[in-house]
Amino acid sequence: MSRLPFLSRGTLYEVETSDAKTKSLIARYWGDAVNFFIRTGDTSRLDRYRELTIEGHPIETDPDVIEDICLDTDFDLPELYEP
């Protein structure tokens, strides 16, 4: 069982899961989309997650919200998932 953070509606959540698909989705979201956006400013990879949910919570894809959480807090994205 793993506890993994993800963003939804401007809030950082943790999901406890042993489901490989959920783990993979969260890892791809952070590594492929969020980290890429933070490094480059390019939002195109966030689009892949617009309609997806985790435990009924929509995955956050608003670049302004992601910047607020990742850049204006102590949240350490590179520590979580690096590409």
d(CA 75, CA 60): 15
Domains of the chain, by residue range, sit at 2-80
Question: Tokens in use for 29?
Answer: 């979201």
What's the predicted TM-score (pTM) here? 0.83
Which tens digit of pLDDT belongs to each residue from 24-73?
999 999 989 999 999 999 999 999 999 999 999 999 999 999 998 887 76
Backbone angles phi, psi at 45, to 5 degrees: -75, -20
